[in-house]
Chains A and B, each alone.
Chain A
Amino acid sequence: MNKRLTAGVAAFALAALGFALSPASAAVKTVDESSCGMAGAFCVGVVTDTGKVDDKSFNQASWEGAKAGADKAGGFAKYIESLDSKDYAANIDLFAGKKYNVIVTVGFLMADATVAAAAKYPNIKFIGVDQFNGSTAANFSGLIFDEDKGGFIVGYLAGYLTKSGKTAAIAGGPSTIPPVRKYIEGFANGVAFAGKEQKKKLKASTVYYTGANAFNDPVWGATTAKQYLSQGYDVIFAAGGRTGNGGLAAIAKKKGAFCIGVDLDQWLTLPEAHGCLVSSAEKRLVAGVSSLVGQIKDGSFKGGNFVGTVGASPYHDLASKVPAAVQKKVAATLKKLIDGSLPTGVKQ
């Protein structure tokens, strides 16, 4: 009895030793930062732009995508929140210094810093969320989206939902940022397209924020939304970080008005807007980032640009306010937009 136990323990110890000595090719779960850079370790770092990682928008989705991708690959993920645009390069350097395998940088504003870092650290792979990659670097891929398609599909929905014939789009940033412009122009074209189908003249008014606090001025978003509401606009697309969120929260208090969110399914992140939020022009950021991280892990990663998918978020509790026929039309139009048979008419 005693002998058998001893033998069992010995066998177990030998097996454990054998396992420990076997090469690290078996998926070793990277649990913390200290093992980054070792063989088999897989570390993903996310550098946010000046928003926070729980901004209910861009940074949050990129972080969730990076985390999902890292989990799937048995890796480790960590983020740094940039407090100032001056810190972008320094924050990237922090991850690079700890030998991270992948660095995800979030947002159009970080594009220059990312291109520079990709040249500086050729052994690290970079994912630039919402950054068009114009460089030839093989270790950098921009994750881009056809925002015009996302804007178009919610504009199309707005065109069928409006009762007053007046729709509006509030941009939290200036039109010089291409994703912002493409969302807004896509929206206007989507509304016009829905108007053409219904043989109605629909109005799509747009306004851009160009002050010093782009994407970070909820009070402006709310005030502007109220200005639109008091002029009879009844479907409003509020696109742009916290500025847009302020607008959505203000519209939710108005009975009979619809609002449309952006970037993420904002129903899940912005309960203040539940009163009006019929859908969101959604970039499937989480899926985009995690599949790029997966490509890096399995070695199929290429430089250049990766086009993620866009769509209209579920209607959630407001589904009953969207007629079934309209829901069907939206789904059909989205399909045509994605396969390219219906052009949005927005300059790229």
Chain B
Amino acid sequence: MKRFLTFKWILTLILIAITGYLYSRDGVITTSVVATALIFGLPLALAAMVGIMCERTGIVNIGIEGTLLFSSFIGFFVASTTNNGVFGIFSAILAGVVTGLFLAFMSISWKMDQIIAGTIINILATGLTSFLYKQGHTAPTTSPIDIPFFSNIPFFGQVLFMNGPLVYFGLVVIFALYVALYHTSWGLRSRAVGEHPGSADTAGVSVFRLRYLNVALAGAVGGLAGAYLSLELVGSWDRGFTAGKGFTALALMIFGRWNPMGALAAAMFFGLAQAITNQLMFADVAHIPEQFVNMLPYVLTIVVLAISAGKVRPPAAEGQQYEKEQA
């Protein structure tokens, strides 16, 4: 743990130093790259939160991809038919809750294998959205909101305070989740249920109810990520829209050690690597083959993981059914 801490801070300092140096060389490009890292990393971070909330209470969720796909579709569909972006966002969140409840129903009430339950969500979401989708529709999308005063700060203004509303909301959700998970009784109970449901039950926590609640809430966060993708980042929807982002998020969750801040950092790091990759190709630096450049986000992630990993341990009761002992 101590080794990881020092490495983490060294890496952060190095990144800050490099960013500062590059900013002094070319402010526009450096700002643009970091801003891109945020808009690219945020949906991955939110999707990783879905995984964290589920797995911390002992439910494996590999249906994140399905949640993202389904909610981004519903969000776009509702925003398009009602011509109201706010309705779209709320419907996306609701659609996320529906996939969450479905997962909870299959894995908690029916005691199905949780991997299979998640796979069902992925397959169902792909099939359903492909079937219902009709091309040629537009939907109102969110537009960036410049936060007064803060948006005038050089660098940070453009990166943090000139984004769409869902970026701000998403970041607030992630920080709130971190605080809730480690500093509230809900968080303590959730983690206890994920580690040792028997003890939590003995202490009077309803394992079933808490698992249901958390998986549904996680679905809402996934719905927010879906709404962000279709109604803010792209402004469009198409079949197979999410292209595996939900699976990347699972890896980032592990990279971030089932900790919201860790997963946020991992997602931002991945986003940064993607933005740098793009920038290297924009500039056509030394004609490096593009396949090599495109490997960069993955290679960097593996390198950082290899150095920093130490021991990664998932919640102990993850994926296990909980049977209440009968007296």
Contact = CB atoms under 8 A, between A and B. Distances in A.
Q: A and B: partners? A: yes
Interface of A: 52, 54-56, 168, 174-175, 205-213, 216-224, 226-228, 230-232, 242, 245-246, 249-250, 252-253, 269-272, 274
B284 A250 contact: no
Nearest to B282: A205
A269 B236 contact: no
Contacts of B143: 253
Contacts of B278: 207, 224, 227
Contacts of B281: 206-208
Given A219-B229, A230-B35, A245 B243 contact: no
Interface string B31-49: 1110110011001000000
A269 B135 contact: yes
Contacts of A274: 138
Given A210-B294, A216-B240, 18 more contacts: A52-B239, A174-B290, A175-B290, A205-B282, A205-B283, A205-B284, A206-B282, A208-B281, A209-B294, A219-B245, A220-B243, A222-B236, A223-B36, A224-B278, A230-B158, A242-B238, A250-B233, A271-B138
A269 B136 CA distance: 6
B234 A227 contact: no
A249 B234 contact: yes
| Max chain B C-beta neighbours (<10 A), residue from A55, A223, A245, A270 | A223
A245 B236 contact: yes
B43 A174 contact: no
Interface in B226-244: 229, 233-236, 238-244
A272 B229 CA distance: 15
A218 B33 contact: no
A269 B243 CA distance: 22
A232 B28 CA distance: 9
Contact of B39 (A210, A212, A223): A223
A321 B39 CA distance: 31
Contacts of A226: 36, 39
Given A56-B135, A253-B141, A246 B236 contact: yes
The 10 A-B pairs at the shortest CB distance, nearest first, are namely A249-B236, A222-B234, A230-B32, A210-B294, A213-B243, A227-B36, A217-B243, A207-B281, A272-B236, A249-B235
Interface string B16-56: 00000000000011011101100110010000000000000
Nearest to B237: A218
Contacts of A218: 234, 236, 238, 241, 243
9 contacts: A174-B290, A213-B243, A216-B243, A222-B234, A230-B31, A230-B35, A230-B158, A250-B234, A272-B235
B326 interface: no
Interface string B237-281: 011111111000000000000000000000000000011001101
Nearest to B29: A231
B267 to A, nearest CB: 13
A210 B277 CA distance: 11
Interface of B: 28-29, 31-33, 35-36, 39-40, 43, 130, 135-138, 141, 143, 158, 229, 233-236, 238-245, 274-275, 278-279, 281-284, 290-291, 294
| Max chain B C-beta neighbours (<10 A), residue from A217, A231, A269 | A231
A231 B235 contact: no
Contacts of B240: 213, 216, 242
Contacts of B233: 219, 222-223, 250
B28 to A, nearest CB: 6
A209 B278 CA distance: 9
A133 B112 CA distance: 51
A52 B238 CA distance: 10
Contact of A230 (B36, B239, B244, B290): B36
Contacts of A271: 136-138
| Max chain A C-beta neighbours (<10 A), residue from B137, B239, B245 | B239
B235 A253 contact: yes
| Max chain A C-beta neighbours (<10 A), residue from B43, B245, B282 | B282
Contacts of A210: 290-291, 294
A221 B40 CA distance: 11
Contacts of A253: 141, 143, 235
Contacts of B243: 213, 216-220
Contacts of A168: 282
Contacts of A270: 136, 236
Contacts of B234: 218-219, 221-222, 246, 249-250
Nearest to B297: A211
B282 A228 contact: yes
Contacts of A228: 282
A250 B141 CA distance: 10
Contacts of A230: 28, 31-32, 35-36, 158
Nearest to B142: A253
A220 B290 CA distance: 15
A223 B31 contact: no
A112 B160 CA distance: 49
A245 B238 contact: yes
Contacts of A245: 236, 238
Nearest to B298: A211
Contacts of A54: 135
A227 B235 contact: no
A207 B33 CA distance: 15
A231 B236 contact: no
Given A56-B135, A207-B278, A218-B241, A250 B235 contact: yes
B161 to A, nearest CB: 14
